[in-house]
């Protein structure tokens, strides 16, 4: 149930089309749907403003299809599936026409994400910039960027502007200073986040990636560097968590004072 559906539901009770007892029954059964292997949180959009997103890793194609089917039945118009394999994407896309001839899954290989439905037009306050230290960080960056776009944000990508060639980043200072939020994504020592944090006047969300040689410890070194940043206004999400960064950036970009 989203906010529009909740308002229509309340109006039905007000107008006598639905009895209070029927309304109470709907409220007690609506908050989640038990699929056995998953409990679909159908009230998340009402509480959070964003419906539930499917985490695809570790789920079978059949389980993903079952969850997508339940979402469609609940009239969810935009469905995101993160960490989705190409094989599962093909199976879900092959099943979708059975629910409607216009339903298709668009698979974004770099982001490892599937999108069912139309990406909305941006309605955020400003721009979200997604910057990476290197090209190897792009998969996580695309997960963050696509998540932010799906939540109604204008996203600007600045890829491969790491501290190994600081002049590359400084060339885009004017672009950085137009941002409402910057998502800084880097592996190795993760220094990019501190540098950006010291240059801009907006929130910076650091995303450490599991990119780097042995002592990078699969992203732990970058995580600790970002957590220890001396730049103010920097927050950090977990290693490789592009989705979490894109979601948080969208919340900031839609928060009107």
A 10 A CB-CB count for 53 gives 18
Domain 127-253 adopts which CATH fold? Rossmann fold (3.40.50)
pLDDT for residue 196 = 96
C-alpha 115/C-alpha 219 separation (Å) is 27
Domain boundaries, the chain: 33-116, 127-253
The whole-model pTM stands at 0.85
The string of pLDDT tens digits covering residues 214-242 is 999 999 999 999 999 999 999 999 999 99
Q: How confident is the chain (257 residues) per 10-residue block, as mean pLDDT?
A: 67 78 65 80 80 92 93 88 95 86 89 93 94 96 97 96 91 94 95 95 96 93 95 95 96 87
pLDDT for residue 5 = 67
pLDDT for residue 75 = 82
């Amino acid at each position: 149930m989203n906010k529009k559906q909740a308002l229509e539901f309340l109006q039905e009770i007000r107008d006598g089309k639905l009895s209070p007892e029927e309304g109470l029954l709907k409220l007690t059964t609506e908050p989640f749907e038990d699929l056995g292997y998953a409990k679909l949180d159908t009230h998340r959009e009402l509480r959070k403003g964003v419906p539930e997103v499917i985490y695809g890793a570790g789920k079978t194609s059949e389980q993903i299809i079952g969850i997508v089917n339940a979402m469609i039945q609940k009239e969810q118009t935009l469905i995101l599936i993160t960490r989705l394999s190409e094989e599962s994407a093909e199976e879900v896309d092959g099943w979708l026409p059975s629910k409607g001839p216009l339903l298709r899954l668009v698979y974004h290989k770099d982001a490892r994400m599937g999108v069912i439905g139309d990406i909305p037009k941006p309605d955020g306050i400003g721009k979200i910039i997604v910057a990476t230290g290197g090209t190897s960080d792009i998969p996580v960056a695309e997960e963050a960027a696509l998540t932010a776009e799906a939540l109604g944000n204008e996203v600007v990508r600045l890829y491969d502007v790491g501290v190994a060639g600081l002049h590359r980043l400084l060339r885009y200072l004017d672009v950085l200073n137009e941002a409402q939020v910057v998502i800084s994504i880097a592996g190795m020592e993760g220094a990019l986040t501190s540098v950006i944090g010291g240059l801009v006047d907006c929130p910076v969300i650091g995303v450490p990636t599991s990119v780097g040689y042995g002592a990078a410890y699969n992203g732990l070194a970058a995580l600790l560097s970002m957590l220890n940043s001396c730049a103010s206004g920097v927050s950090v999400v977990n290693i490789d968590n592009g989705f979490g960064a894109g979601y948080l950036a969208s919340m900031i970009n839609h928060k009107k004072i």
